[in-house]
Amino acid sequence: MTSADARYALQASLFDDATGGVELGELGPTVQRRTLTVGAWVDVRPGWMTGSEELFTTLADSVPWRAERRQMYDRVVDVPRLVRFYGENESLPDPLLVAAREALSTHYQPEMGERFVTSGLCFYRDGSDSVAWHGDDTGRSRTEDTLVAILSLGTARPLLLRPRGGGPSIRYSLGHGDLLVMGGSCQRTWEHCVPKSSRLLGPRISVQFRTRGVR
């Protein structure tokens, strides 16, 4: 795909959605669970949010995105994505994110025993933005099971998972309103990443909902 094609694809989906509005579908039986090893699992619900390009555009334009820098050995390097974290008491940049968080909390509360309270947003500007292999294991998730729910907007990017300590990876393609939820021991026994791509890709926004004390 050329960059013109990528731009056209995004335009075309914006046009498609112009009449439809943004809507969250059902969760319930539409959510498919895959059991991984050592108490980890992944739920997927493709196309959970329809008409999501409108929300993508709103967030891309209105979120005060931050470019972060990180010490890496003897150098300071740019983190290859833009980020913005919304803590428990911060208002979210769009009411649709509140609706998504509440729907997810209602669906998962019986299993998780608590609600999603924080929202981490990542903006992958193109294929050269990425996140390296990691688990969201800062805080309680270092020792306890937790759920991390990810709503993906814009261009689909692969999200890979692999067991810590090695083993084949599994791959999901996430964008355009898809939902993926990592649960059980996933953050401490598995790792996930969004790899760089040399293809010319359009932008993607990932919204991660987490529970209190988990990063």
Ligand X SMILES: O=C(O)CCC(=O)C(=O)O
Residues that bind Fe ion (CB under 5 A): 136
Best CA proximity match to 172, nearest among 190, 184, 146:
190
Q: Which positions ≥6 away from 161 have C-beta within 8 Å?
A: 36, 42, 169, 170, 171, 172, 182, 186, 190, 191, 192
Q: Which residue has the tokens 């809507």?
A: 23
d(CA 191, CA 24): 28
Q: Is 186 in the site for ligand X (CB under 6 A)?
A: no
- Under rule CB under 6 A, residue 150 binds ligand X: yes
Q: Which is nearer to ligand X, 22 or 179 (CB)?
A: 179
**Are the C-beta atoms of 204 and 124 separated by less than 8 Å?**
yes
Strand partners, 148: 182
Q: Does 122 bind ligand X (CB under 6 A)?
A: yes
Q: Considering only residues 24-43, where is the footprint of ligand X by CB under 6 A?
A: none
194 binds ligand X (CB under 6 A): yes
179 binds, among Fe ion, ligand X, none (CB under 5 to 8 A by kind): none
Binding to ligand X by residue 192, rule CB under 6 A?
yes
Q: Which residue lies nearer to ligand X by CB, 51 or 203?
A: 203
Kindly write down the DSSP assignment for every residue of 145-183, as one continuous string: ---EEEEEEES-EEEEEEETT----EEEEE-TTEEEEEE
Phi and psi based region of residue 46 (left: phi greater than 0; alpha: psi -120 to 50; beta: remaining): beta
Out of Fe ion, ligand X, none, what residue 203 binds, judged by CB under 5 to 8 A for its kind, is none
List the single partner that 120 binds among Fe ion, ligand X, none, CB under 5 to 8 Å by kind: ligand X
Does 52 engage in binding with ligand X (CB under 6 A)? no
C-beta closer to ligand X: residue 13 or 208: 208
Q: Which residues would be at the binding site for ligand X (CB under 6 A)?
A: 120, 122, 131, 136, 150, 152, 159, 192, 194, 206, 208
